[in-house]
């Protein structure tokens, strides 16, 4: 009898799941039926939102900002030139260009166009999106250009002659794939790409690295390293320094675990560093390593979130000769790490509110640390650091201070101020406040509020709360001309929450909301929402929330759990069906963050917050606005499609817009970006004012 029951129970379970996932046909990205549904939703949404009185004004202001000639042309230092990628109304898909560095610094920027992507798209009948270049160092005369159809992560790669400003007819070419490539020398590439059956991981990234010689077919490339099918990815890394060339192969076991192998004299040597550590490059024959958990060896203990320098030659022999360059405190954590020829530049987050920059030099076997004098109380972002001199560019900004470019010409030189963004909105009308909410388990969660000075704490203010809370990505103060012009200037309050899962306070802040503890991110966000209401900034009728990607999952989850808290929700390029996320595009690579839904014990905790599974027919939900992209080959558009379709089947109101281009971003052209942003702000103003 028992044996007969098992098939019946199994069939019932399968039938139930099939009923729950009756919208799986929407996962067919370019399916005729799916695209017909998308088009219907797009028309229904734009017919309403573009007709709102605010929409056209917001769109025109946004496009004006995005196309402004007064924007900063961010420079990339290569030799004696500053390189830049620029988009405006003349170059809607952008132009890759350069100018002499001395002209750039003098403010006399005579740009030499190298690749006009709009013209190239027109010539070839393709909707190309520029995805960057890999330039041969230290000659800087040829490069590998990465082009994406519609803005996705998969790219076509072609070799380009910078001096002749032309693609090389018989040069290296790689077909469309999520390729990882590095120059070994002028005539040799290390390539991870789709070589055919079995060469990609279950996450859709390269599993194999091969050495490809110029003039030979890709099929004849020599196998260097082979990972496993269930790895996230495998890739090659080459760093050329004034001392020597370093070659490493990385095997991404999970999103947070990586093995590193040095390629020395055609032999692979596995480096004895923790698999949960990040590598930040090589400086003066030292490997820069960031352990994410406590690292104990030979009587030493390195705290999680530190930055250490290990002597490379000793490491090749299995020895650990270590210098700690940065050690975190309770509220200070490690930010970005960059290097020039003679210094390591370490950015430190101070309590998640502002940054400090330190310079580390190594002379005569001795490390020296100095504070770099920068503007105070803001966010510092490294723009370009030169490996062959000590020149570097960085920017400073805060919530109300426009981003400003600074330049350092030499070691220990004072920073010189360069171009600033215009004041696109009158910042004098606003003020910034810092608060903490208390989460469900008693943890204090910081958040930042930007509000009009005249705002009254009577709950009537349209308030937008933004969050992310995943993958150790930090929310930092930043100047947003679009947000300031389209939200603050319209009377809104903007709030940014530093919830767990992010990296504001180092690896532990992230790990506290990983896998079985992911609910803590949502508890934190809900706590901030309730604190905003309690302090009188808003009520549940004037509070809206927004998030994208993992942040889309965040706002989706909290809306299912506490629909009473929110009047508006912008859910962009989201993960929502957490039962199938690991089967869609790059989803398998994120199981290190969320867990594996195919393992019953892990699905048990994922299922409690997965928005798609927790949507109820009789739920009293706000009218959510879903935004996604057909060409997003990272987070599958099926997540947003299925969630909206399921709401439609329950007669739950929503808005939906799917851009045909854009990849995992808001669009490829400034017009597309302006439309996506404007639809969102027009929706928020309609719902909250």
Residue 304 per-residue DSSP state: T
Bridge partners for 266 per DSSP: none
Residue 265 CA to residue 248 CA, distance in Å, equals: 12
Averaged pLDDT, 495-507: 96
Q: Helices 638-649 and 550-561 sit at what angle, rounded to 10 degrees? A: 20
Residue 414's pLDDT is what? 94
pLDDT for 604-652, tens place per residue?
999 999 999 999 999 999 999 999 999 999 999 999 999 999 999 999 9
What's the rounded Cα separation, in Å, for the pair 670 and 93? 8
Task: Give, to the nearest 10 degrees, the angle between helix 519-534 and helix 550-561.
Answer: 70
- For residues 149-182, one letter each, b for 16 or more C-beta atoms within 10 angstroms of the residue's C-beta and e for the rest, the string is bbbbbbbbbbbbebeeeeeeeeebebeebbbbbb
- Which helix (H) or strand (E) segment is 559 a member of? helix 550-561
Gap between the Cα atoms of 178 and 66, Å rounded: 28
The candidate with the shortest Cα–Cα distance to 86, out of 105, 66, 62, is 66
The confidence band for 34, taking pLDDT boundaries of 50, 70 and 90, is very high
| Cα distance between residue 603 and residue 120, in whole Å | 47
Token look-up 């610094």 returns 105
Count of CA atoms in the C-beta half-sphere (13 A) of 329: 7
Phi, then psi, of 506 in degrees rounded to 5: 90, -175
Give the active site residues: 549, 664
pLDDT digits (tens, 9 = 90+) for 103-120: 999 998 899 999 999 999
CB 208 within 8 A of CB 192: yes
The per-residue pLDDT for 20 is 62
pLDDT of 3 > 80? The answer is no
What mean pLDDT value characterizes the chain? Answer: 95
Q: Taking the C-alpha atoms of 445, 451, 457 and 458 in order, what is their torsion angle to the nearest 10 degrees? A: -110
Encode 70-98 in three state secondary structure: CCCCCCEEECCEEEEEECCCCCCCCEEEE
Mean pLDDT of 274-291: 97
User: What is the structure's pLDDT at 364?
Assistant: 87
Give me 146's structure tokens.
């990465």
- Phi and psi for 21 in degrees, rounded to 5? -110, 45
Element (H, E) at 659: strand 654-659
Length of the chain: 689
Strand bridging mode 624-629 / 568-572: parallel
Query: How far is the CA of 625 from the CAs of 165, 351, 554, 591, 650, in angstroms?
Result: 44, 33, 14, 27, 16
pLDDT at 238: 98
Structure tokens at 141: 């005369």
User: 53-67 and 670-688 helices cross at what angle (nearest 10)?
Assistant: 140
Dig out the tokens for 456 from the structure: 């009254």
Tell me which H or E stretch contains 548: strand 543-548
- Rounded CA separation 580/575 (Å): 10
As given in the structure block, the two tokens for residue 582 are 């690991």
Q: For residue 429, with 0-12 CB atoms within 10 Å meaning exposed, 13-18 middle and 19 or more buried, which class applies? A: middle
Residues 204 and 639: their CA atoms lie apart, in Å, by: 18
Lowest mean pLDDT among 37-41, 127-131, 376-380: 376-380
Q: 65 and 482 in contact (C-beta within 8 Å)?
A: yes
The pLDDT score that the predictor gives to residue 330 is: 85
Give the pLDDT confidence of 310-330 residue by residue, as tens digits.
999 999 999 999 999 999 998
Entry pTM: 0.94
* Angle at CA of residue 542, ends 537 and 544, nearest 5°: 100
Residue 387 has pLDDT above 60, yes or no: yes
Alpha-carbon torsion (261, 262, 263, 264), positive or negative: negative
In tens, the pLDDT along 226-270 reads 999 999 999 999 999 988 999 999 999 999 999 999 999 999 999
Hey, which residues does 316 pair with through a beta bridge?
Answer: none
Is residue 12 over pLDDT 50?
Answer: no
**What contacts 63, CB < 8 A, 6 or more positions away?**
670, 671, 674
Question: For residues 670 and 679, what is the distance between their CA atoms, to the nearest angstrom?
Answer: 14
Predicted pLDDT of residue 198: 94
How confident is residue 331, by pLDDT bands cut at 50, 70 and 90? confident
Helical (H) or strand (E) element with 670:
helix 670-688
Q: Give the pLDDT confidence score for residue 15 in this predicted structure.
A: 36
Are residues 358 and 345 in contact, defined by beta-carbon separation less than 8 angstroms? yes
Q: Which residues contact 75 (CB under 8 A, 6 or more apart)?
A: 82, 83, 84, 101, 104, 383, 384, 393
Predicted pLDDT of residue 428:
97
């Amino acid at each position: 009898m028992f044996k007969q029951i098992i098939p019946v129970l199994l069939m019932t379970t399968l039938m139930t799941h099939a009923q729950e996932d009756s919208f799986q046909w929407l996962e067919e990205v370019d399916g005729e039926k799916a695209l017909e549904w998308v088009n219907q939703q797009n028309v229904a949404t734009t017919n309403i939102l573009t007709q709102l009185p605010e929409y056209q004004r917001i769109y025109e202001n946004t496009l004006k900002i995005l196309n402004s000639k007064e924007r900063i042309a961010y420079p990339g230092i290569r030799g004696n030139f500053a390189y830049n990628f620029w988009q405006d109304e003349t170059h809607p898909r952008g132009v890759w260009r350069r100018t002499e560095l001395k002209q750039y610094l003098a403010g006399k920027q005579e740009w030499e166009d190298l690749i006009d992507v709009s013209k190239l798209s027109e010539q070839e009948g393709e909707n190309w999106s520029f995805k960057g270049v890999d330039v041969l160092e230290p000659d800087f005369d040829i490069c590998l250009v990465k082009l994406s159809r519609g803005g996705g992560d998969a790219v076509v790669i072609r070799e380009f002659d910078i001096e002749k400003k032309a693609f090389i007819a018989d040069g290296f070419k790689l077909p469309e794939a999520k390729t990882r490539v590095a120059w070994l020398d002028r005539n040799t590439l290390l390539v991870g790409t789709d070589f055919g059956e079995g060469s990609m991981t279950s996450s859709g990234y390269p599993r194999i690295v091969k050495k490809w010689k110029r003039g030979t077919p890709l099929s004849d490339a020599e196998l260097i390293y082979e990972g496993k099918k269930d790895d996230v990815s495998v890739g090659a890394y080459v760093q050329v320094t004034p001392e020597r060339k370093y070659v490493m192969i990385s095997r991404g076991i999970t999103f947070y675990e990586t093995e590193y192998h040095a390629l020395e004299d055609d032999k692979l040597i596995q480096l004895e560093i923790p698999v949960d550590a990040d590598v930040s490059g090589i400086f003066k024959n030292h490997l820069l390593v960031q352990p994410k958990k406590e690292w104990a060896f030979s009587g030493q203990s390195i705290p999680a979130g530190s930055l250490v320098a290990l002597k490379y030659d000793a490491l090749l022999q299995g020895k650990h000769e270590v210098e700690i360059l940065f050690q975190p405190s309770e509220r200070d954590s490690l930010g970005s790490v960059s290097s020039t020829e003679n210094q390591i530049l370490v950015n430190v987050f101070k309590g998640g509110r502002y940054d400090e920059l330190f310079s580390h030099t190594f002379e005569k076997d001795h490390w020296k640390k100095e504070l770099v004098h920068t503007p105070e109380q803001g966010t510092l972002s490294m723009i370009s650091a030169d490996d062959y001199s000590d020149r570097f560019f960085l920017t400073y900004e805060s919530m109300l201070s426009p981003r400003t470019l600074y330049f350092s010409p030499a070691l220990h030189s004072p920073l010189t101020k360069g171009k600033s963004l215009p004041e696109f909105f009158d910042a004098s009308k606003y003020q910034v406040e810092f608060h903490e909410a208390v989460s469900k388990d008693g943890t204090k969660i910081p958040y930042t509020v930007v509000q009009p000075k005249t705002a009254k704490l009577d709950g009537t203010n349209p308030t937008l709360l933004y969050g992310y809370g995943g993958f150790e990505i930090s929310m930092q103060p930043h100047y947003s001309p679009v947000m300031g012009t389209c939200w603050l200037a319209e009377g809104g309050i903007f709030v940014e929450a530093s919830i767990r899962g992010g990296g504001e306070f180092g690896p532990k802040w992230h790990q506290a909301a990983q896998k079985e503890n992911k609910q803590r991110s949502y508890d934190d966000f809900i706590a901030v929402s309730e604190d905003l209401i309690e302090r009188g900034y808003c009520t549940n009728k004037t509070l809206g929330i927004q998030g994208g990607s993992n942040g889309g999952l965040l706002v989706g989850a909290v809306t299912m759990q506490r629909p009473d808290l929110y009047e508006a929700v912008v859910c962009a390029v989201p993960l929502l069906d957490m039962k199938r996320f690991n089967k869609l595009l790059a989803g398998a690579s994120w199981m290190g963050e969320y867990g594996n839904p195919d393992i019953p014990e892990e699905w048990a905790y994922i299922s409690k917050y997965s928005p798609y599974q927790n949507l109820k027919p009789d739920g009293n939900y706000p009218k959510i606005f879903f935004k996604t992209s057909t060409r997003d080959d990272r987070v599958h558009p099926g997540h947003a499609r299925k969630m909206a379709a399921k709401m439609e089947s329950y007669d739950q109101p929503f808005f939906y817009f799917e851009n045909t281009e854009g990849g995992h971003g808001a669009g490829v052209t400034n017009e597309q970006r302006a439309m996506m942003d404007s639809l969102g702000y027009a929706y928020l103003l309609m719902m909250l004012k």
